[in-house]
Amino acid sequence: MAGLAACGGGADGPDYASAFVGTWTGTASVTSGTNTNSANNVALHITTSGTNALQIADICEDLSGPAATATSATSFTIGSRTCAPAPVTGCSSVTLAVASGTGTISGSTLTVAMSANLSGCSQSFPVTLGFTGTKTARPSRSTKTPSVSLRVCPGGGSFGRRSGLANLEHRAEQLGGTFAIESNQAGGTTLRWMIPISR
């Protein structure tokens, strides 16, 4: 999916984009209802496309994401972005739609929160995507045990390797881990994401 063009803050004001541009590594979370699942050592890439115009990557299947606008040296707002619907096993399409969000820097820590909706397979439910981390060159890659495992079990339906799920697989492989999607006959799908961690 092509990245959306962001509307910058204009050439007449200061450009805050450079405060956010780079690779940030930390903890990502997905919250649906009262269930929150998180994963450590996740990379979030932010680039700029003009004055105060940011592009948040690693959200959609192709690792792209929503546009954002830097509003100060410590904050930005995230615009809407609907990842292209994709056919998956058991249904014609699954869509991740980001409605809005914010990002803030406090000290050296970036915190991002996005309201989104995941729909497909006759299901639709709101999710909150979160990220907290610090700017780094790249995430550390460890192939040693022990490992961390993330398991998501939405009720009913089934999801394939599309609409952001390929991103989970890609990130797990980059970190020496695995990603699996398991659908059962009674309905429902289990997502298993596991990566090794350092001691």
Strand, helix or coil for residue 110? strand
Q: Are strands 178-183 and 123-136 parallel, antiparallel or unpaired?
A: unpaired
The domains found in the chain, sorted by start residue, are 17-140 (2.40.128)
Q: Identify residue 129 by its one-letter amino acid code.
A: L
Strand, helix or coil for residue 151? strand
Task: For residue 183, give Cα distances in angstroms to 69, 190, 197.
Answer: 39, 6, 27
Q: Are strands 67-72 and 53-56 parallel, antiparallel or unpaired?
A: antiparallel
Both tokens assigned to 4: 């959306």
Q: Identify residue 105 by its one-letter amino acid code.
A: I
For residues 46 and 62, the answer to whether their CB atoms sit within 8 Å is no
Residues 116 and 198: their CA atoms lie apart, in Å, by 32
Instruction: Give the bridge partners for 44, in sequence order.
Output: 24
For residues 131 and 28, the answer to whether their CB atoms sit within 8 Å is yes
Please list the pLDDT of the chain residue by residue as tens digits (199 residues).
Answer: 233 333 444 445 799 999 999 999 999 998 888 888 888 888 889 999 899 999 998 887 778 899 999 999 999 999 999 988 766 566 677 788 999 999 999 999 999 999 998 888 778 889 899 999 999 754 444 444 455 555 555 554 444 444 466 677 777 777 777 776 666 555 566 666 676 665 4
